[in-house]
Amino acid sequence: METIKLQLSVDEINIILEALGKEPFTRVYALIGKIQEQAQRQIGQNEQPGPAAAGGIDHE
């Protein structure tokens, strides 16, 4: 599978995660996890994810 790299703000990522959260879980759970994993690596290991229901990423 071909991959691409995107540069998005934390707020933009949270909007995407919020939209994905409205889709059927079985269709998007792996994608949400992948986004969160990559975001956490870039933000830092000390940051905690945002609200579980929204699947968000917290930022300062």
pLDDT score for 54? 54
Range 14-41 average pLDDT: 95
Range 26-38 average pLDDT: 95
In the chain, the number of structural domains is 1
Residue that wins the pLDDT comparison between 27 and 60: 27
Range 32-49 average pLDDT: 81
In Å, how far are 1, 2, 3, 59 from 55, measured between CA atoms?
Answer: 25, 25, 23, 13
- For residues 17 and 56, the answer to whether their CB atoms sit within 8 Å is yes
pLDDT score for 60? 52
Alpha helices in the chain (DSSP H): 10-20, 25-43
> Percent of the chain beyond pLDDT 90?
67
Domain that holds residue 16: 1-60
Q: Is 49 helix (H, G, I), strand (E, B) or coil?
A: strand
